[in-house]
Amino acid sequence: MHAQRLDVAEPFGCGPEATLRAVEHLGYVQIDTIHVIERSHHHILFTRIPSYQRAHLMQAQGVDKSVFEYWTHALSYVPTRDIRFFLRAMNAFRRAPSKWHQSATPAATRKVLALLKKNGSLTIRDIEDDVLVEKDHEWDSRKPSKRALQRAFYAGIVTICARAGMLKTYALTDRHFGWAKRPKPANEREIVQYRLERALRAQGIVSIDSVCYLDAPRKQAVCRLIEAQCKRGELIPVAIKGAEKTPHWMAPAWLEKPPEPITDSVHLLSPFDPLVIQRKRLRLFFGYDHCFEAYVPKAKRKFGYFALPVLVDEAIVAAIDLKTDREQRKLRIQKWSWIGGGSARAHKRRIEAALHRFEQFQLAG
């Protein structure tokens, strides 16, 4: 929890600068399209920055250009200082795009790049002369230009310079960042080092699986790096009850000054929060199995469509399914489920105060 900065009230301070500090510390903030409550990227930042405003992330992306969007284990905001660790993946995609993106025709790609060069940034709505086609997927667009923009995005040719909800504004990457010459892409050894350092900073205690979450091909390289760092005394192995067969490691500095016990903290966590997204890890440390039930048939849901784990001090004590009624300007509780028996109910008043703060954030602006 200390590594995730969930143990104190304002770990990153306040104001627009706090947003960049949070993204840099966490390494990434996941983006998601579901809007039943506030979208995950804003929710994750509000959890760690009580005074957070959506405009702060917009400023970081479009004005300060200190964060950018790209794929980690999912589409995420990433610190621009780390962009060289993603350029190698962009170059690889340019040479061998995914099967889905290969259907973006050369003509459509030339068209969108010419528009960007001539007119500057644009959204898909600005392209009005596409010959519409049938959609291959419900999330697809009838405009061929959309797939061309997405292919250029993953290839690093264009970047997303602004986002209004899920409407993306694209710009030429080199122009957006003001690059006369592109940064040198990190090599594979540097990328592996970066992945381990990011995990140690944001997780505190790591395993091979937690470092390489949804990135299995790098497991062997990460394992070799951890072994080397253990020999140098930079990491130490730790045993965790319930995971005796799964090696874990941490930096020795954690033992020199362990964090203080947490006694005055309540967080309503997004299902996409970095603390929650690795389900096996969540279960190991908190004894809680979270199931994301938005894609589960209604009759089979246990906690609800978009249930949020509720972290009180050092334990998950409840899961609350919420929905923002924007017309009536209310945060609706669809279902409240207690985790951990009768003692959890003693926290109800504190949780209700956190729900009130969350409602104010939801309906602000």
* CA–CA gap between residue 264 and residue 136 (Å, rounded): 50
Q: Based on the fold, state whether residues 41 and 120 are members of the same structural domain.
A: yes
> Would you say residue 341 lies in a domain?
yes
> Would you say residue 336 lies in a domain?
yes
Last residue of one domain, picked from the residues 148, 177, 206 = 177
Structure-token pair, residue 44: 């994750």
> Would you say residue 161 lies in a domain?
yes
> At residue 342, does pLDDT exceed 80?
no
Listed in sequence order, the DSSP H helices in 253-341 are 253-256, 274-277, 279-286
For residues 187-194, give the mean pLDDT.
Answer: 98
pLDDT class for 178, splitting at 50, 70, 90? very high
> Would you say residue 221 lies in a domain?
yes
Q: Based on the fold, state whether residues 218 and 297 are members of the same structural domain.
A: no
CA-based nearest residue to 337, from 306, 298, 362, 365:
306
* CA–CA gap between residue 236 and residue 252 (Å, rounded): 6
User: Residue 210: which CATH number?
Assistant: 1.10.10.10
Structure-token pair, residue 127: 């392209």
For 201-239, letters b (16+ CB in 10 Å) and e give: ebbbbbbbbbbbbeeeebeebbeebbeebeeeeebeeee
For residues 203-215, give the mean pLDDT.
Answer: 97
Give residue 136's pLDDT: 65
> Would you say residue 10 lies in a domain?
no
> Would you say residue 222 lies in a domain?
yes
Q: Based on the fold, state whether residues 146 and 250 are members of the same structural domain.
A: no
Q: Based on the fold, state whether residues 24 and 171 are members of the same structural domain.
A: yes
Q: Based on the fold, state whether residues 35 and 161 are members of the same structural domain.
A: yes
Give residue 259's pLDDT: 82
pLDDT tens profile 236-276: 999 999 999 999 999 999 888 888 888 889 999 999 999 99
Quote the strand ranges of the chain, DSSP E: 29-30, 67-71, 75-79, 158-164, 167-172, 236-238, 248-250, 266-268, 307-312, 315-325, 330-338
Q: Based on the fold, state whether residues 238 and 329 are members of the same structural domain.
A: no
Give residue 15's pLDDT: 94
For residues 79-93, give the mean pLDDT.
Answer: 97
Domain around 330: 266-363
Q: Based on the fold, state whether residues 143 and 40 are members of the same structural domain.
A: yes
Last residue of one domain, picked from the residues 177, 201, 236 = 177
pLDDT class for 181, splitting at 50, 70, 90? very high
Q: Based on the fold, state whether residues 160 and 295 are members of the same structural domain.
A: no
Q: For the chain, how many structural domains are there in total?
A: 3
pLDDT tens profile 44-66: 999 999 999 999 999 999 999 99
* CA–CA gap between residue 127 and residue 115 (Å, rounded): 9
High-pLDDT (> 90) share of the chain, %: 84
CA 244 to each of CA 21, 58, 219, 227, 240: distance values in angstroms, whole numbers, following the listed order: 35, 44, 19, 18, 6
pLDDT tens profile 97-119: 887 787 788 888 999 999 999 99
Residue 2's Cα: distance from chain center in Å?
18
> At residue 138, does pLDDT exceed 60?
no
Q: Based on the fold, state whether residues 247 and 170 are members of the same structural domain.
A: no
* CA–CA gap between residue 103 and residue 81 (Å, rounded): 32
> Would you say residue 261 lies in a domain?
no
> Would you say residue 5 lies in a domain?
no
> At residue 343, does pLDDT exceed 80?
no
Q: Based on the fold, state whether residues 21 and 131 are members of the same structural domain.
A: yes
Last residue of one domain, picked from the residues 155, 177, 199 = 177
pLDDT tens profile 4-39: 999 998 999 999 999 999 999 999 999 998 999 999
Q: Based on the fold, state whether residues 33 and 155 are members of the same structural domain.
A: yes
Q: Based on the fold, state whether residues 238 and 275 are members of the same structural domain.
A: no
